[in-house]
Amino acid sequence: MAALVRLRAGDNLGPARTAADRLLHAPDEGPAGAGARTGGGVGAGGSGGARAGISAPARGLDGLPAAWHEALASAYAAAAEPRYGPVAEWAAVGPYRLLTGLTSLTGLTAPPPGGDAAEAPVRDGAAAPDPAVRRLLEPAHRELAGTAEVFLDRAGQAGRTAAELGIHRQTLYYRLSRVEQLTGLDIHDGADRLLLHMSLKAARLTHSWPP
Which domains does the chain possess? Answer: 15-21+50-109 (no CATH), 131-206 (1.10.10.2840)
- How far apart (Å, rounded) are the C-alpha atoms in residues 74 and 53? 4
Helix runs in the chain, H state only: 14-25, 64-80, 96-102, 142-153, 158-165, 169-183, 190-205
Q: Is the pTM of this model over 0.85?
A: no
CA dihedral 154, 158, 162, 165 (to 10 degrees): 30
pLDDT of 107 reads 56
Q: If you average pLDDT over residues 183-208, what whole number do you get?
A: 91
Residue 32 — very low, low, confident or very high, per pLDDT cuts 50/70/90? very low
pLDDT of 186 reads 96
- How far apart (Å, rounded) are the C-alpha atoms in residues 190 and 104? 27
Phi-psi region at 103: left, alpha or beta (left = phi > 0; alpha = psi -120 to 50): beta
pLDDT of 2 reads 63
Q: What DSSP string describes 76-99?
A: HHHHH-GGG-SEEEGGG-TTHHHH
The SS3 assignment for 211 reads: coil
- How far apart (Å, rounded) are the C-alpha atoms in residues 32 and 93? 22
pLDDT tens digits along 102-156: 766 655 655 433 444 444 444 444 557 788 999 999 999 999 999 999 999 999 9
Nearest in space to 78 (alpha carbons), one of 96, 56, 103: 96
Nearest in space to 195 (alpha carbons), one of 183, 209, 181: 183
Q: If you average pLDDT over residues 61-80, what whole number do you get?
A: 87
How many CB atoms are closer than 10 A to CB 64? 13
pLDDT tens digits along 153-186: 999 999 999 999 999 999 999 999 999 999 999 9
